[in-house]
């Protein structure tokens, strides 16, 4: 682009004068704000904006020229950890609500939080920050299996389980397989059926 502008001649000077180096603090602020919103629990009318924030984050860490700087930024890493911690707090609240048979949480909030966790896991994988996520997921797996077995299974919950199993250390994998295998056996026909219905 710069070569083309330079070939234009004096008319290019105003354009060149506008070019500025990237303001890292502004990029960090945009990323942090978008990540906070992408992992929040907004009212239904704002869910489209939340989906846009998630797409923006994905773009910023995969296709943007500044992706390596974002991934290495300690301020961003800290913000991401805090957001994921808050997401897990909402997840645990939903699990507790399931015990008390809170119908609203069972029907909507848990699915939304699990979907957000699945998205967050993909982002954390790209940022090479999955360790804390995996540890927390393993610690809550036993309770989660019991809760999800008692409810209708959504297809997106399977993906995160498979990914978590893949990243675990070998010693933990056997434990997780014993825990998740019976559940996956029951879930697979439901997922296959849902995919067939969509086609």
Q: 31 in a domain, yes or no?
A: yes
- Asked whether the CA dihedral 176, 159, 76, 83 is positive or negative, the reply is negative
Q: 7 in a domain, yes or no?
A: no
Burial 69-87 (b: 16+ CB within 10 A, else e): ebbebeebeebbeebbeeb
pLDDT at 153: 52
Share of the chain above pLDDT 70, in %: 68
Distance CA 8, CA 4 (A): 7
What is the per-residue pLDDT across 18-72, written as a single tens digit (0 to 9) for each? 666 667 788 889 999 999 999 998 887 888 999 999 999 999 998 887 788 888 8
Q: Is it the case that residue 103 has pLDDT exceeding 90?
A: no
pLDDT at 55: 94
Tokens of 189: 């026909």
Tokens of 66: 């500044």
The count of domains in the chain is: 1
What is the per-residue pLDDT across 113-168, written as a single tens digit (0 to 9) for each? 878 888 898 899 889 888 888 888 878 877 777 766 665 555 555 655 555 555 55
Q: 9 in a domain, yes or no?
A: no
The parent domain of residue 126 ranges over 21-198
Q: 8 in a domain, yes or no?
A: no
Q: 53 in a domain, yes or no?
A: yes
Q: Is it the case that residue 176 has pLDDT exceeding 60?
A: yes
pLDDT at 33: 93
Q: Is it the case that residue 1 has pLDDT exceeding 70?
A: no
The closest of 120, 2, 138 to 61, measured between CA atoms, is: 120
pTM of structure:
0.67
Q: 62 in a domain, yes or no?
A: yes
Q: 13 in a domain, yes or no?
A: no
pLDDT at 16: 58
Q: 15 in a domain, yes or no?
A: no
- Which residue has better confidence, 172 or 105? 172
Place of tokens 């507790």: 96
Q: Is it the case that residue 186 has pLDDT exceeding 90?
A: no
- The mean of the pLDDT values for the chain is 77
């Amino acid at each position: 682009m710069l070569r083309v502008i330079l070939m234009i001649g004096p008319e290019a000077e105003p354009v060149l004068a506008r070019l500025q180096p990237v303001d890292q603090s502004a990029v960090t602020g945009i990323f942090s704000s978008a990540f906070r919103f992408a992992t929040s629990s907004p009212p239904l009318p704002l869910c489209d904006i939340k989906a846009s924030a998630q797409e923006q984050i994905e773009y910023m860490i995969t296709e943007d020229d500044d992706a390596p700087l974002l991934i290495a930024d300690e301020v961003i890493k800290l913000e991401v950890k805090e957001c994921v911690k808050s997401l897990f707090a909402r997840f645990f609240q939903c699990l507790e609500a399931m015990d008390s048979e809170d119908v609203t949480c069972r029907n909507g909030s848990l699915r939304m939080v699990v979907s957000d966790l699945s998205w967050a896991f993909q982002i954390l994988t790209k940022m090479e920050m999955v360790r804390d996520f995996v540890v927390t997921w393993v610690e809550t797996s036993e309770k989660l299996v019991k809760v999800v077995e008692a409810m209708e299974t959504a297809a997106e919950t399977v993906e995160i389980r498979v990914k978590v199993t893949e990243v675990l250390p070998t010693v933990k994998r056997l434990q997780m397989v014993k825990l998740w295998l019976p559940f996956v056996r029951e879930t697979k026909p439901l997922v296959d059926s849902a995919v067939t219905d969509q086609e």
